[in-house]
Structure 1
Amino acid sequence: MFYLLKLHSYPPGHTLHSRMARILSLFVISVSLVIALAKPTDTESAKKRVHEEQKLSDVEHDLEGEHNPDYDHEAFLGKDEAKTFDQLSPEESRNRLRIIVRKIDKDKDGFVTEQELKEWVDYTQNKYIWDDTDRQWRDHDKDDDGALTWAEYMKTTYGYESENELAEKTDYNYKDMVRRDKRRWEKADQNGDQKLSREEYRSYLHPEESDHMKDVVVEETMEDIDKDKDGYLSLEEYVGDMYPPEDHEDGVEEPEWVKTEREQFSQYRDENKDGKMDKEEVKRWILPDNYNHAEAEAKHLMYETDSNKDEKLSEEEIIEKYDVFVGSQATDFGEALIRHDEF
């Protein structure tokens, strides 16, 4: 249920700023909560590959079978200011959290509901995506004309304005990277005018957020994992993506989570039981229709914090469990609190 774009290997000196932010776009997070999902997602594959609707966190939800609170901090607050709350005293963390709670309580009834929590998480993640788009847009749209051409993108990303010039003037083979970039670019260019608007560029950077881009997400995932290029994912390719041969230790038994993943492949991923995953099965794996991460995170935060089980959170309940929300690592809304942004 989450999606990971693999990081390409770049030679020294390559222009990385925008590509790094894009390629590290989304990774796998598992939500192993008391609220059960229809299909298991709390194993290593979920942490490595499955798509999330919005990037709730740069950290894994579970570490070695234990809940990782840093996931909740980033999901609740955002990502861009991860060190802000990490460097605050407990007292200051509580004070700033009170400000956030009052923003989340939209109807001002003194309580935060699960729906208000979900809307808040949605808000912080959508804010992150647009902030990320705007940062990279400024880097690429050098002439500030509100449109980004392929030549502009090539120039700022690779240093040259065309694929031919790039091939002629560099020793490193960028062919596959440029091919993937251009395929995604053309898909994002919905009106076919050979340039991207800011909104189209958002789809380019975060394809998992746009329905018309999801086939590209599947293609890129297949290309990354399908080592024999037969158009399918075998069990060994599926397992090998998260537990590569170089991780195997001689004489050491395969980890339990790998055994579990083999079972998951057979029981859930390979739906038609032909021993491999086709594109449609991969799509349902990484881009499920029936899962909302903001909703799952809201349910989790409610479960962890609602001490009197009345299905709503008072400010004091939240402050009492402040470490669940803003404990050791949090991000984006640290900055927003300083600005006193309105929700």
Structure 2
Amino acid sequence: MRLLIDIIYSALVLLAIGVALAIPKPDEKDKKDRVLDNDLSDKEHYQNEGHNAQYDHEAFLGEEEAKTFDQLSPEESRRRLGVIVDKIDGDKDGLVTQEELKDWIQYTQRKYVTDDIQRQWQSHNPEGKDKITWDEYKQRVYGFMDDLDPKELEKDEEGFSYQNMLRRDRRRWDVADADGDSALTKEEFAGFLHPEETGHMRDVVVLETLEDIDKDKDGKVSLQEYIGDMYRGSQGEEEPEWVRNEREQFSAYRDKDGDGFMDQEEVKNWIIPPDFDHALAEARHLIYESDTDADQKLTKDEVLAKYDLFVGSQATDFGEALARHDEF
């Protein structure tokens, strides 16, 4: 979510400053978790007053599979889309229902999380032990800090601080550490990496979100801070329509007690909306956009006719040689 980007979803995998497992800055890392409860993509669904098909692309395929489709030619990605439609059609009646589409979207999201946990567990635990200690994780991810000048660890002009990231990761680690032994099992590590998937972990992400947006550190989010988290226009520039809409959303729905701020509970209601099913909402959206005969079901032809909506890839003709999956 929009939010915290890979606090949002990944707890940082990085080894040293010059190594690819390097720690991203908060504006890269911290947006993915802005809206939790299994938001389906870290992209904005509506952007610059228009619909952002990349959100649907990732929601429908899952983040990793979407990257694969982005490298395929239009012809190959259409062929694969047809194969996927056959998989979604569980009862093989030639029609994709809202329920079948919702189940598919939930499956892609679970697969992304499961695969990411397995990949990071193996990366951080090459010896295959039952637990990873905090000291082991800290050394692997933050060990490079030992060689930095202390000034490099403090906040830069953008407010970024390695020390703050280390502190926040330790706090999240402690919340995930159910038995308090400073070491995480694979299940506990999953909660550390993907707190949006673990009920008792969600409050820490709410706190992280509040800390990121609350620039004056008064413990609450003002309208200015809320808008500033999403939009930084040039002085004198007219605000886009979507920004004006967000101002109205803040006053009408986010700031429930009308005091001009969001407190921690109001931030929680924003990023973890109760009783909202993202997969169902996305399934309804995709059917609405694609259902030409208005029967609330999709044929393969209807899906393929909306190819850009479902797989909207940034396809080139140079991608067909990339890794293929057996199911295709």
**Structures share fold, TM-score greater than 0.5:** yes
CA apart distance, 1:290: 2.3
- CA-CA distance at 1:339 after TM superposition: 2.2
Q: Which runs of 5+ in 1 are unaligned?
A: 29-48, 161-165
Return closer, same or farther for 1:26/1:226 CA change in 2, 3 Å cut-off. Answer: closer
Corresponding position of 1:73: 57
User: 2:223–2:260: 8 Å Cα contact kept in structure 1?
Assistant: yes
Which of 202, 224, 229 is the equivalent residue of 1:214?
Answer: 202
Counterparts in 2 of 1:337 and 1:156: CA distance versus 1, 3 Å: same
2:229 is paired with a residue whose SS is helix
Partner of 2:168: 180
Cα distance in 1 for partners of 2:27, 2:181 equals: 25
| Corresponding residue for residue 234 of structure 2 | 248
Which of 128, 140, 144 lines up with 1:144 in the alignment? 128
Change (3 A) 1:188 1:14: farther
Asked if residue 302 in structure 1 is aligned to residue 306 in structure 2, the reply is: no
CA spacing shift, 1:337–1:113, aligned 2, 3 Å: farther
**Which residue in 2 is equivalent to 1:279?**
264
> What TM-score do you get using the length of structure 1 for normalisation?
0.79
Q: Report if the CA contact (8 A) 1:77-1:326 is conserved.
A: yes
Deviations 1:181-214 (A, max 9, x none): 1110011112323211222111111112211011
Tell me what 1:155 maps to.
139
**How much is the aligned-residue C-alpha RMSD, in angstroms?**
3.1
Q: Within 5 Å, which residues of 2 pair with 1:49-60? A: 50-60=34-44
Output one character per residue of 1:283-337: Cα deviation in whole Å (capped at 9) or x when no partner.
101111122211111111111222212222222322333332223249xxxx997
CA 1:14–1:276: 2 relative to 1, 3 Å: farther
CA distance in 1, matches of 2:57, 2:20: 28
Contact 2:105 2:279 in 1 (8 A): yes
Contact 1:234 1:275 in 2 (8 A): yes
The 2-side partners of 1:21 and 1:146 are apart by: 31
Return the offset for 1:20.
4.3
Partner secondary structure for residue 179 of structure 2:
coil
Query: Residue 112 in 1 paired to residue 96 in 2?
Result: yes
Q: CA deviation at 1:123?
A: 0.5
Is this contact kept in 1: 2:5–2:30, CA < 8 A?
A: no
**Cα distance, 1:25–1:228 mapped onto 2, change above 3 Å:** closer
Paired AA for residue 5 in structure 1: L
TM-score, normalisation: structure 2: 0.82
Distance 1:21 1:115, change over 3 A: farther
| Aligned positions of 1:88-107 closer than 5 A | 88-107=72-91
**2:319 matches 1:338:** no
The aligned amino acid for 1:204 is F
Partner AA of 1:338 in structure 2 = H
Counterpart in 2 of 1:289?
274
Residues 75-110 of structure 1: per-residue CA shift (max 9 Å, x gap): 111222445333434433332222111211122222
Q: Write out per-residue CA displacement over residues 32-64 of structure 1, whole angstroms, 9 at most, x where no aligned residue.
A: xxxxxxxxxxxxxxxxx7414335234332232
Q: CA, structure 1 residues 21+119, in 2 after alignment: closer, same or farther (shift >3 Å)?
A: farther
Q: How many residues align?
A: 307
